[in-house]
Structure 1
Amino acid sequence: FLFSLQRKSIVAVSFIAAFLCLIIVRLTNEVTFPLILNCFGQTSVKWIPFSNGQRQPLRAHYGYINVKTQEPLQLDCDLCAIVSNSGQMAGQKVGAEIDKSSCIWRMNNAPTKGYEEDVGKRTTVRVVSHTSVPLLLKNPEYFFKETNTTVYVIWGPFRNMRKDGNGIVYNMLKKTVDSYPAAKIYVTTEKRMSYCDAVFKKETGKDR
């Protein structure tokens, strides 16, 4: 009886040790263990290895697809700052406070250069309307240069964003990533755009 208990204890300890080893390997490498991830409900989370510094989860957002790689947006934010385009930002001197946020969101082609004291200098995500894409393309070196780490999320109606060669805006974006391969340009999927349109109509009573 005593031998049986000892054997069960050894088996239990071995199982726990093996499980912990799998967890450690999973957290320090980009190896996928679907069953373990399912246990924790994190099937769409990718972990950055410890060698990259503090471990942070990157969540996959399937409503936003990279124009070049066709992969979903990987992003996770803790504290967000959504910066308005309004001229009322001038003179506010909140740039340093904004830059403390883990993610900083800006709209369209709102400038930061020359206004750092008021609006900050960092940009994590820039949400751009399909009608504002030409404004960005007037100054591509500023927005899409190699050192720019900003994620661009472009939204617009399907007729402009279609990928069959007839989407005017999508064609512009394709040419942009050809010229600037490091540019992180994403577009909303048709499903995500339909959802956003439905929310807009529900809250305003108007079609976009």
Structure 2
Amino acid sequence: MKNNTSPRAAVCVVLFFLVTLFIIYSSNSRNEVFHYTSLRVQPHLPTSLKKWGVKTGYLPVSGNKTLDRHCHQCVIVTSSSHLLGSKLGAAIDQSECTIRMNDAPTTGYEADVGNKTTFRVVAHSSIFRVLKRPQEFVNKTLESTLIFWGPPVKMQKSLIKVIQRVSVAFPNMSAFVASPERMKQFDDLFRKETGKDRVTSRSWLSTGWFTMVIAVELCDRVHVYGMVPPNYCTRKPPPHKMPYHYYEPKGADECTTYIHNERSPKGNHHRFITEKRVFAKWASLYNITFSHPVWE
């Protein structure tokens, strides 16, 4: 037995080595096509979001595709538990373009949030949660486009490679990444609209911030479902406690999360309420409406 086993083991080792070299070579070859480098020039910040230029701000993960889709009417379906029991699914699915965020699922929630997804905006921190469920988020509908965002230093290390490998497994996957220049523009926009520097104020921009800007770039009209107004969590009497995400019924309370993030002077936090004040200002400028709840 020893004489038969040793040659077979040697052959297996050699085959494993060759396959490993092939994977490494293939991965490196794909990376040469996709150029994602650190910011080298100061990007221009147009006065209107409509003039940002969506075609140049988002890079294709594979191939030479261009994000050139334009929609007359879009809906943003938030991840808020305010949508539970709303029975809005049918109305949402009738929209021309539907935008969702991160790993908010539709399976099991179709009656309230619909099933159609045209664009899904995904944060760097949610990439693994999205890509590990391709049948739900990647391959469920052929028309869906994934738009990933994240700090360039994190994206170019390993996350880009992960997205590339999934795109190879699913050739129909249409995926784009916000360029370093566009990420800098998002920071500059936050400073322009709030008077606060994102880095020195130790703020993290939320996926909602990126999604709203992308929606304005892509759409003539935007209807947002489930987003609460800026004064919602400070009303008297305080609103009933509700989960932050509709798909996490035992998760943190929405308003507790908003207020903690807004008021925390330490650490890096999303400034949800500050962002919503900016959205309220953009409503009339960019034809944005809000419902469930309605903004006054």
Structure 1 position 126 matched with structure 2 position 116:
no
Supply the AA of the counterpart residue of 2:119. V
1:179 counterpart residue number: 169
Q: Deviations over 1:35-76 (max 9, x none)?
A: xxxxxxxxxxxxxxxxxxxxxxxx962211211114321201
Contact conserved, 2:105 with 2:137, CA < 8 A, in 1? no
TM-score, with length taken from structure 2: 0.47
Aligned length: 146
2:74 counterpart residue number: 80
1:201 counterpart residue number: 191
Structure 1 residues 70, 190: CA separation in 2 closer, same or farther (over 3 Å shift)? farther
1:55 counterpart residue number: none
Aligned ranges 1:33-48 → 2 under 5 Å: none
1:141 counterpart residue number: 135
2:68 partner SS: strand
2:102 counterpart residue number: 108
Unaligned segments of structure 1, at least 5 residues: 1-58
Supply the AA of the counterpart residue of 1:173. I
**Larger RCO of the pair (alpha carbons < 8 Å, separation 6+):** 2
1:135 partner SS: helix
Percent identity over paired residues: 37
Structure 1 residues 92, 147: CA separation in 2 closer, same or farther (over 3 Å shift)? closer
CA distance in 2, matches of 1:177, 1:201: 35
Select the structure that is richer in strand: 1
Q: In angstroms, what is the RMSD of aligned CA positions?
A: 1.8
1:73 partner SS: coil
Supply the AA of the counterpart residue of 2:167. V
TM-score, with length taken from structure 1: 0.65
Contact conserved, 1:79 with 1:103, CA < 8 A, in 2? yes
The structure with the larger Rg is 1
Instruction: Please state how far the C-alpha of 1:140 moved relative to its aligned partner.
Output: 1.8
Contact conserved, 2:103 with 2:129, CA < 8 A, in 1? yes
Structure 1 residues 126, 201: CA separation in 2 closer, same or farther (over 3 Å shift)? same
Structure 1 position 192 matched with structure 2 position 192:
no
CA distance in 1, matches of 2:88, 2:139: 26
Structure 1 residues 199, 168: CA separation in 2 closer, same or farther (over 3 Å shift)? same
CA distance in 1, matches of 2:179, 2:66: 10
